[in-house]
Structure 1
Amino acid sequence: MFPGVWIGLLAVLAVAAVLTACARYYALRRNLLDQPGERRSHGVATPRGGGIAIVLTLLLAVVAGAFYWPQARTTLLVFGLGLALVAGIGWWDDHRPLPAVRRLLVHVVAASLLAGLVWNATGNPWQAALALLFTTSLINIWNFMDGINGIATTQAILAGAAFALVLPGPLALAGVVLALACLGFLPFNFPRARIFMGDVGSGALGYAVAALVCLASVATTVSWLLLLVPLTAFLVDAGFTLLARMLSGQRWMEPHTQHLYQRAVKGGATHTSVTGMYFVFGLFSITVFNACTYLQPRWEAAVAVTWIISATGLWLLLRKGMRH
């Protein structure tokens, strides 16, 4: 790797940290605080909106990438536009809450940009449709799962590392940059939260991780099912919690504390221990993922299905234990 690339990567880490400090100062000046409540997992008023630092860092990296790799300029700028849309509606919502439908419409537009890139690269409309649905879902999943210190950031770091390991050549830098941008933010949010990510950051992280999945689906031969394995913890907890709320007739779009990680905290576990458990499970997930990326497609799919079913069984077991 060229010395200039190493300098650039260190700059990503430093810029994210500096911008997070600036975001905290802004939030305190504007009294932009998350207040404790029955549907919250924190006990003191805490500044929010720190995820804007990750977003701005990624956008600066997009501009730098477009300058140094002209052949990828269009792809990078389309991704940057989608990221800005998701972050922009999240920033607005952090300042003045918006109806869920309005946010969802923006998410669909941004996801359509990624889907268009997938369609252009593969010529496969079904793969593009899958990218659209997956991206829209992951934006909201990351938002749902951003409820305790460090959990959304550390899972994004793991995802960035996982896809960096399988993406070829300079494309791996996409995963590394995402991981470093999150790492620059992490000390401000974990183990003690001096600022929360906010919707501006959580939705944008979901979009960025979805972009990595779409990129891997185009640039590698890894099956879509196996590409989900690094995200298992969030997909299972968010997906089955949402399904359980729907089946029980609850208003599933309203804020709640029924995710497994939230139940654990409500049951007395610390944010640090719960985030740590999710991180350890994520390490196992990316180990399984990396070990199986050279299998034949049917075996990749078999491993992915087995892993996700096993994770679902673990989720059901833990959820039942916490209920009692």
Structure 2
Amino acid sequence: MIDLWGGCAIVCALSALGTWAARGYALRRQLVDQPGERRSHQVATPRGGGMAIVGALLVAVAWALWQWPVQRLPMAGAAAGFALVAGIGWWDDHRPLSARWRLLVHLLAAAGWSLLVWHLGGQVWMGVLAGLFAVGLVNVWNFMDGINGLAVTQAMLAAVAYAWVLPVPLSWLGWALAAACLGFLPFNFPRARIFLGDGGSGGLGFALAVLFGLGLVAGLGPWSLWLPLGTFLVDAGFTLAARMLSGQRWWEPHAQHVYQRLARRFGHAPVTLGYAVFSGIAIALFFRLQALQPRWEAVGSIVWLVVASTIWLLLRKGLRDH
């Protein structure tokens, strides 16, 4: 039998080999992102490497379906939604689709996952929250995938956090996601030789929403369950709100996130590492809060939200003034 670390090593290797193959494929098909005003990179770079993460994770899920038959329903349901979101993103990487069609598929995948979480957890609010996070995280990871290594390191850290607290065998999905991200990372950081693409970024967002939903089903403290995702949620959420309040066409591509402004001043690697440190602190708090009573868990989560929001506002103001 393959142990946890052996399984992670296989998933990591599959992801790395798949990313290498995806880069060659993207170059042959001219699937390349060009530099531009709304982009943070300076040289033409192939895209679509995130499908290697998708493929490796689906292999991991297939193995889990065989290994733990009792968990076939949540794992098969998660894999179906994950493949749907990644598939429409892969299509969009090849032949750009309208936002309407992409959103329709995202909503379909989220609705399926929402109903499954409702069924597994027995609570309507769990299903609703899981569905909202599915739609939200798919788009958040797409919005925040703009500099080298950022989206994949944030996904890897969050996956480890959830894997650490989820019961076996559900925790395998978190470890497998982290291992798949690790296999992709050397191709994307510190120098990007390939980007995730919409299929990869959307797939990561949905996979993390699955781990969030499984956390609800497993009875983890719901007040702090968002913390491993909080760094991205705060930057994406407040930037979106600011654009909407200022009357901008908020659905269009832009370079107004705090991470993008920081990257223009300090470079990609320092910002990616800085965001990783900040997420590491949030994850440490997440572990601590999971052991507290619900009211103190809620208080701790609200305090962290206030702190993170204040830091975002100060950074945004400082970067605008200089």
TM-score bracket relative to the smaller structure: over 0.9
Match of 1:217 in 2: 216
Secondary structure at 1:170 match in 2 = coil
Percent of paired sites with the same residue: 57
1:262 alignment counterpart: 260
The residue correspondences of 1:235-314 to structure 2 (distance < 5 A) are 235-266=233-264, 268-314=265-311
Question: Secondary structure at the residue paired with 1:226?
Answer: coil
The CA deviation at 1:165 is 1.5
Q: Which moved more, 1:242-251 or 1:171-180?
A: 171-180
- The CA distance in 2 between the partners of 1:123 and 1:73, in whole Å, is 18
Q: Secondary structure at the match of 2:39?
A: coil
Partner of 2:82: 83
How many equivalent residue pairs?
321
1:294–1:4 Cα change, 3 Å: closer
Contact kept, 8 Å, 2:15 with 2:52, in 1: the verdict is yes
Runs of 4+ in 1 over 4 A off after TM superposition: none
- Residues 149, 188 of structure 2: 8 Å contact kept: yes
In angstroms, what is the RMSD of aligned CA positions? Answer: 1.0
Contact map agreement 2:48 2:90 (CA 8 A) in 1: yes
Residue equivalent to 2:115:
116
Q: Which residue of 2 aligns with 1:232?
A: 230
Deviations 1:251-310 (A, max 9, x none): 0000000000111122x2110011011001011010110111110011111111110111
Contact 2:141/2:204 (CA < 8 Å) preserved in 1? yes
**Does the 8 Å contact 1:34/1:45 carry over to 2?**
yes
CA distance in 1, matches of 2:173, 2:121: 20
Unaligned runs of 5+ in 2: none
Per-residue CA deviation, residues 116-140 of structure 1 (Å, 9 max, x unaligned), is: 1111112212221111112101110
Gaps of 5+ in 1: none
How many Å separate the matches in 2 of 1:25 and 1:289?
40
Maintained 8 Å contact 1:148/1:271: yes
| 1:25-76 deviations in Å (ceiling 9; x for gaps) | 1000101100000000000000000000000011111111111111111221
* 1:66 aligned residue: 65
Asked whether the equivalents of residues 167 and 220 of structure 1 are also in contact (C-alpha less than 8 Å), the reply is no
Quick one: distance in 2 between partners of 1:18 and 1:126? 40
Matches of 1:63 and 1:180, distance apart in 2: 16
- What residue is the counterpart of 1:101 in the other structure? 100
Alpha-carbon contact 2:155-2:208 (below 8 Å) kept: yes
Give the C-alpha shift of residue 178 in structure 1: 0.7
